[in-house]
Amino acid sequence: MLRKKMLVLYNFSRQDERILSYLVENYLDRKSVRITLLHVYTALQKYTQLRRGAGEGPSFKGAGQKTGMRITEFRKKEEELQRISSYLQDEGFSPEQISILFTPKVNSLAQDIVDIVGEQGYNTVLLCYGPVKAKYFLAERLEDKLLNKLKDKEIIFLT
């Protein structure tokens, strides 16, 4: 029996809630499916400024409150991914079928997904397709980048 190893991009949007229904409706009875819920966040150093004063080491001046809020936000999102994992298990998936990957963005989101798919051997990527804002219409979108770079993988876009 072939194993389906799915990487599911989850960004905590209203559109992403449809992913959960899709997984339950289409993969609940398939014991060979392994699902990894992925959330890629912008690393903390992007939100803080590293400043050096004369004769002193690096310090994060003026970033304490913002950094604290970001850390709290990260924790809440990671806890929410845990709740989503528990929800899927309550629906009938086994704990061995569901895992979580909460990771900082290293490159672009598309490149990070491509790297994760290559390194960890996923054969399916699942994500929600959101409406495109007019100002981004001409820019290359995440969906286009994934289609170009993951030609030998199954990519599922929920609309």
- Reading the block at residue 150, the tokens are 């993951």
- Reading the block at residue 10, the tokens are 């989850």
> Does the pLDDT of residue 53 top 90, yes or no?
no
- Residue range of the domain that includes 36: 4-43+75-158
> Does the pLDDT of residue 137 top 60, yes or no?
no
If one counts the domains in the chain, the total is: 1
The answer to whether residue 68 sits within a structural domain is: no
pTM: 0.78
What torsion do the CA atoms of 21, 142, 41, 38 make, to the nearest 10 degrees?
40
Ramachandran category for residue 121: left, alpha or beta (phi over 0 → left; psi -120 to 50 → alpha): left
CATH number at residue 142: 3.40.50.620
> Does the pLDDT of residue 144 top 60, yes or no?
yes
Q: What pLDDT, in 10s, does the model give residues 58-107?
A: 444 555 666 777 788 888 999 999 999 999 999 999 999 999 999 988 98
The answer to whether residue 8 sits within a structural domain is: yes
Looking up tokens 């390194």 gives 119
The answer to whether residue 63 sits within a structural domain is: no
- Reading the block at residue 63, the tokens are 């970033």
The answer to whether residue 87 sits within a structural domain is: yes
The answer to whether residue 60 sits within a structural domain is: no
The answer to whether residue 52 sits within a structural domain is: no
